[in-house]
Amino acid sequence: MGLSDSVLAAMIGAAATIGTALFQLIHNWRANVATDRRAKRGGFRSLMMLVLIMAACGVAGYALSDYRAQSLREDTHALRQELQQQVKILETSTARLELVNRSADDRTHAAELRQQGMDGIEALVQVPACRAMQMAFSAERATCSESDATRIGVCAVVPAKAQVNEVLLYSRPESSPQTWMESRVTLGQEAGGARFVDAPVERAHSENTKEVCSTYTHWASDKAHTARIVVKYLLL
């Protein structure tokens, strides 16, 4: 098991003290046996010297231990400051990277919205066949006329700041093989018992959006129709 520097220093000091003490005791014992009373006074001086040496060894061991502990504290403090500095640098770099990514995402989102405006926002409504009143004394129903037409608003939702450039109108019978390009109509054009009437209007939808609506009328009795509008705009 490894020992810390402070414990190792204390052990060294203690070993030196014990060794010195044993050496002095043996030396004094021999001197006391071979000499007279005067030698005994010299032994007392040796004993005092031994005490002083032991004290000096203890002080030296404590000083060495404290020095090593102080050095360790200074190294730990320096390491902590370096780590804190590295953390600050990392936080700054992370914040800068997030800002760059956010700006890039904002630019990408704005480009997507502009492209969406150029492509157009569509709205679809399917209107069922007109059912006129049943003829008297018959199971048959009369054919609907335009006065019996169902009126419905076809609305597309666009950004509130959008500048509407064009509203494309389409109408085709249910299950028709026609493409939408072939089904395009103009305002007021009759298309198999249906037509768009009134110019497109804009009205508020929410705080950030608005509706662009066109009124569609349908009186065809034989089949349902699908009405479609495509709103193209410029995002301001």
Query: Which of these, 229, 230, 227, 231, lies nearest to 151 by C-alpha position?
Result: 227
Are the C-beta atoms of 109 and 206 separated by less than 8 Å? no
Measured in degrees and rounded to the nearest 5, phi and psi for residue 202 equal -110, 140
pLDDT given for residue 70 in this prediction? 73
Query: Which of these, 69, 63, 232, 66, lies nearest to 163 by C-alpha position?
Result: 232
**Percent of residues in the chain assigned helix, strand, coil, to nearest 5:** 50, 30, 25
**Run means of pLDDT, 10 residues per run, the chain, 236 residues:** 57 66 66 57 62 66 67 77 79 73 70 84 92 59 81 94 94 91 94 93 93 95 93 89
Q: What's the pTM?
A: 0.54
d(CA 185, CA 200): 14
Residue type, 216: Y
pLDDT given for residue 3 in this prediction? 53
